[in-house]
Amino acid sequence: MTKTLEKTPSMGEMLKPAELIELRGTGPLTLQDRRVFNLLIENAWGPHIAEPGRVFSIETSELKGPTEPNVRLVETVERLMRTIVKTTDVEGNETRLQLLSTNSLRTTVNRGTFEYCFPPRLADLLKDSTIFAKLDLEVMRSFSSKYAFALYEAISRRVRLRHIFTERLSIADLRELLGVEADKLLPFKNLHRKAIEPAVVEVNAISPYAVTILPRKDGRKVVGFIMGWGMKDQDGMKEAYSELHRPRIGRKERVTGTVENPVDTSKIDS
């Protein structure tokens, strides 16, 4: 089987190893942090990523807007260095690792260069990867919610599975999948209103996937979720493409009339 790092992405997309999508503990990362990390992966793509200590270089203009100060990029870099994520292998062994190792930012009057490398543990995690997600670069740039960004990545990996269209998740599993911080959005109604609903609405609005997240209940209490996914039909694809190229402002109002509310909280205890 061809390894993930040996594959070449098509124009307008990036490949992301499943091992990076399934990491736990990413809650502290912002939407911009997640975008930058993906850009660093895309820039370094190939077998060299799995070489411990390999240094990569990228222009800072690829990582931030033309008027955005370097301090914002530095804050993102430092969060990527500080955030400790966890991965579990098939035997249940847990490994803790950082997302970014030694790096330097060199700037001049008109340009800047960011040099970086990935931690050895992360490089080792990726070397034998064979499962990955195909991520559309334009779709990723268009998300306004970090929870939608995380859900899109998770569905992009799962949609490649044959004959599997649903997954049962505990509350903790869904929080990890969406990247919700451990001490945030603890009541179910808050989790639904600020994370689940915005994520499902936005992924359904601008991606080729149709996603649902439905609660599993014991009486009136939510004990978990069933997440479902599938590819849209041709009309759905066209509408998603059209919405992708409309202004973000007003998107929720435009799509909530056609996208079913993913969870009904009216009869659920918080």
Could you tell me the residue range of the domain that residue 117 belongs to? 10-126
pLDDT of residue 229: 98
Whether residues 21 and 103 share a domain: the answer is: yes
Are residue 122 and residue 167 in the same domain, yes or no?
A: no
Q: What is the arithmetic mean of pLDDT over 154-172? A: 96
Q: Is 252:201 a contact under the CB 8 Å cutoff? A: yes
Report how many domains make up the chain.
Answer: 2
CA dist 193 and 189 (Å) reads 6
Residue 243 located in a structural domain: yes
208: which residues sit within 8 A by CB, 6+ positions away? 136, 231, 232, 236, 237, 240
The CATH number of the domain holding residue 122 is 1.10.10
In a shared domain, residues 237 and 179: yes
Give yes or no for residue 270 having a pLDDT over 50: no
Pair of tokens at residue 169: 């998740």
Average pLDDT over residues 75-89: 95
The pLDDT of residue 260 is above 70:
no
DSSP for 155-183 reads: HHHHTTSTT--EEEEEHHHHHHHHT--TT
pLDDT at residue 166 is higher than 90: yes
Judgement on whether residues 24 and 107 belong to the same structural domain of the protein = yes
Residues 6+ apart with CB under 8 A from 242: none
**Strands laid side by side in the 103-107 sheet:** 56-59, 112-116, 103-107
